[in-house]
Structure 1
Amino acid sequence: MYDYHTHSTYSDGDYLRSMFAAAEAAGLDGVGVADHCMVLSTEWARRTRREYGFNFDATYERRREAIDSLRDRFDLEIFDAAEVDYEPGHEEEIRSFLADADFDYAVGSVHALDGANVHAVDHFAALPESRRRELVARYFEKLVSLVESELFEIAAHPDLVERNSALRGYATREQYERVADAFADSRTVPEVNAGRVRRDYGRFHPTPEFFEVLGTRGVSFALGSDAHDADSVGPLADELRAFADENGLDPARPDR
């Protein structure tokens, strides 16, 4: 049982030592620390780095040293990874950074729409419904581009728009099928993400319909809790185990 998507204080999570101790206590065989990393030159990315202090592109070597110093203290395989924001047209920026950083694997995410974080309910709720539908369609276009870029081993929370009540429910089966076809032809695998299972959203990514469509294409999945605090690691590991067992999943392992 591996959890490939957790966060530490090197972005917006908990202390490395605490996350590793929680993963070990949860009976995980391995855990990946995939801190938020922005190397894009877009205005949204620059603003987010400035306002949220996401500077992992400048601190990943220090975190790598910390991981190396902690490995022997836990009966756990620990992966040095990053969750990297993706934007079409910026592939060379990302590719260059990942080649230099040489992580164990990279997780790709689409977090921005209309110059705002996908989580920003107030921003999207103020828009006409027709515009919100357009933006959801744009989200899936970006996701297809992310998968086709072959930059990442894992695509995080592949229907992140479902977390936002102003964007939820607008995705179509046709959009799911386009993304599923892209995954079927790519080395990148989608993630079963439990990051909102124990919050008001209460469901996994991808949604049941999207999960079913991906399954028809024979797509493999990685597992990720998206845990940001140590107290969440164990409960979310249990949720992921149950989901994998119920659905007969043999989770993928990123291949270096």
Structure 2
Amino acid sequence: MYDYHAHTNYSDGAFLRWMVDAAADAGLDGIGLADHCNVSPEPSARRYKRALGFNLDLTYERRREAIEAVRGDVDIDVFDAVEMDYDPAHEDAIAEFLDDAGFDYAVGSVHELDGANVHTRSHFADKPESERRELVDRYFEKLVSLVESELFAVAAHPDLIERNPHLRGFATEDHYAAVADALRSSRTAPEINAGRLLDDYGEFHPAPAFLDRLVDAGTGATVGTDSHEPDEIAPRAREVEAELDRRGLEPLRIGEIVSDSRTSGE
């Protein structure tokens, strides 16, 4: 099995070599190092990424050298990927950067709502329910735009809002249907993401009802453990494998999505 969504010290994860070794020890066929990246021109976005050290737009070539070095020491595929923050207003800047950088593939994520990261519970806690429902509507509108942009091979954690208890439970069948329809017409695939499965949220992304809709739509899905630490990879991968077996699903490989000579691992 290939894990196409993991992080390293080039964003908010552990040392790159540790993550690759852990993937090999877990018996994976390959690991995709998809560190966070943001190329938004907004001053607030620039301050945020500098504060957190999300500087892959400046360091991806150095990371690429590290990936090339580690590839020679392991028997699994190691992908040079990116998890790119997406906003419809910044598509041109994103497209230009991705074209210049030439990653093996790009994972797209919607992380921002109402000027704040979706994970920031305090920002949403005091908003009335009607406003929070409108923000969830906006999240799914952005997600559909992400898919329709055709900039990404993978749409990451497609119901990320469920991680925030103040936004949880507002997603509807109409939201799911809109995303499924967009995915059906796109080269972009959703992922089965285990980033909060063994933590406080306790579910995969997409949540069961959402994944049911995507399976019925025949969109397929890649696998992403969304691991940030080496000891997260193996247990998350086991849970994903069990869910795939339960559903009788075969995960998509990146090569089935991106017909690009840079992509290996078939």
TM-score range relative to shorter protein: over 0.9
Question: What is the CA–CA distance in structure 2 between the aligned matches of 1:78 and 1:238, rounded to whole Å?
Answer: 19
**Sequence identity, in percent?**
59
Q: Deviations over 1:155-194 (max 9, x none)?
A: 0000000000000000110011001100000000001000
3-state DSSP class of the match of 1:73?
coil
3-state DSSP class of the match of 2:59?
helix
State the TM-score, normalized to the length of structure 2.
0.95
3-state DSSP class of the match of 1:27?
coil
3-state DSSP class of the match of 1:211?
helix
Say if 1:44 and 1:116, in contact at 8 Å, map to a contact too: no
Say if 1:192 and 1:221, in contact at 8 Å, map to a contact too: yes
3-state DSSP class of the match of 1:205?
coil
Question: What is the CA–CA distance in structure 1 between the aligned matches of 2:39 and 2:241, rounded to whole Å?
Answer: 33
3-state DSSP class of the match of 2:195?
coil
Say if 1:23 and 1:233, in contact at 8 Å, map to a contact too: yes
CA RMSD of aligned residues (A): 0.8
Q: Does 1:245 align with 2:250?
A: no
- Residue of structure 2 in register with 1:63 after alignment: 63
- Residue of structure 2 in register with 1:133 after alignment: 133
- Residue of structure 1 in register with 2:86 after alignment: 86
1:47 Cα shift? 2.3
1:125 Cα shift? 0.9
Say if 1:22 and 1:233, in contact at 8 Å, map to a contact too: yes
1:16 Cα shift? 1.0
Alignment of 1:188-203 (within 5 A): 188-203=188-203
Runs ≥4 residues deviating over 3 A? none
Structure 2 counterpart of 1:233, one-letter code: I
1:20 Cα shift? 0.8
Q: Give the aligned length.
A: 256
State the TM-score, normalized to the length of structure 1.
0.98
Q: Where does structure 2 lack aligned partners over 5 or more consecutive residues?
A: 261-266
Q: Deviations over 1:216-248 (max 9, x none)?
A: 211110000000000101111111111111111
Question: What is the CA–CA distance in structure 1 between the aligned matches of 2:70 and 2:131, rounded to whole Å?
Answer: 48
Question: What is the CA–CA distance in structure 1 between the aligned matches of 2:49 and 2:205, rounded to whole Å?
Answer: 26
Q: Does 1:146 align with 2:146?
A: yes
Structure 2 counterpart of 1:244, one-letter code: L
Alignment of 1:227-246 (within 5 A): 227-246=227-246
3-state DSSP class of the match of 2:34?
strand
Q: Where does structure 1 lack aligned partners over 5 or more consecutive residues?
A: none
Question: What is the CA–CA distance in structure 2 between the aligned matches of 1:53 and 1:71, rounded to whole Å?
Answer: 25
- Residue of structure 2 in register with 1:22 after alignment: 22
